[in-house]
Amino acid sequence: MKVDGNVEGTTFVSGQDVRINGNINCDLFVAAQSITINGTVIGNIYGAGQALTFDGQSESDVFFAGQNIAIGQDASVGRDIFVAGATILQEGVIQRNLFGGGAEIVLSGQIGGDVNLQTDSLKLQDGANIAGNLNYKGGNEADIGTGATIAGDTDWEFAETMDRGTTVMRETRRPFMTVVWFLWSLASALLIWFLIRIWRPAFWQNTARPLTERPLKTLGVGLLTLLVVPPLIILAMVTVIGIPIAIILGTVYPIALYLSRIIVAVFIGQWLAKRFKWPELHKGVWLVLLGLIILGALRMPPYIGFLSSLLIMMAGLGSLVMAHHRVAPETASVQTELDL
């Protein structure tokens, strides 16, 4: 897949082989086996794939996760860059800080801030220029070329290796991959919201309405749905006649669970917009994104996260069932509120 033209707004791209040659006037979310970015991105870049090559311009932060990551000579990162991969090569310009972890990392470009890495093999080639400090963990000391420049301090912390050629990078990798997964879940949920909104413009607004009008009843219906549907699927499976129903419910139920988070995010966006009298921008996409971020943050804490996830599923499922349990004229009507 190629993107050669200029794109206004947040962009989501996925496929086997993705090449971004045009300019993106907002954030870029991309996932593919092979990713090449040659254009200019005004916002942040979030990329996940097997092979990532960045030879373009970014005016904000860059987040990459993959097996082989290359920041080419023509690349320029306007702010910080966060990378996690097996092999990482940096030849371009990073205006601020570099954070990363990998089995093998090679630096030969300019970095305007600090470098914080965890790797068992770090090499600074001639021409590498770090304006700040170099901090790294690993089983081996870095190979620093005579032509490399480090303006600040160099701090190496020894870290044991699990086996030959493999670094223990759990402390760096786990938080980074958590952030990558969080951002990717945001992107996928926002994409689903957008596609359904194009198909049925009033769907999200009408579906979130029960949460606004009857929140307690909605939670009760959601809890009942959570408790009843799984055993109902099992009971239907043990009968020959009920197998088609079980298949349908087994397909619809996971989809409904996934949509429940988006429904609650739409509700939160609507509530915040009314509470603070925010204007609707870009068809409400920023309000939905804010709602998804809030829900994601609530689900992160270990113990509170489980309770939050349960309440989110109850609220979303209950609202979905109450809004679409029957076909009536009021269900298809459009309420005079923010169209999310």
Q: Which of 168, 110, 170 is nearest to 140 (CA)?
A: 168
| Cα–Cα distance, 160 to 165 (Å, whole number) | 11
| Cα–Cα distance, 242 to 233 (Å, whole number) | 9
pLDDT 10s digit of each residue in the chain, 340 long? 888 888 888 887 877 888 999 999 988 888 778 999 999 999 889 888 889 999 999 999 998 888 899 999 999 999 999 998 889 999 999 999 999 888 899 999 999 999 999 888 999 999 999 999 999 998 889 999 999 999 999 999 887 544 444 444 454 455 556 667 777 888 888 888 888 888 888 898 899 999 989 999 999 999 999 889 888 888 888 887 888 888 888 889 899 999 999 999 999 988 888 888 776 655 578 888 888 888 888 877 766 778 888 899 999 999 999 998 754 444 344 444 445 5
**What is the residue extent of each domain of the chain?**
2-172, 185-332
| Cα–Cα distance, 125 to 74 (Å, whole number) | 17
Which neighbouring-strand residues pair with 138?
A: 158
Residues 111, 92 contacting (CB under 8 angstroms): no
Q: Which of 118, 320, 318, 95 is nearest to 220 (CA)?
A: 318
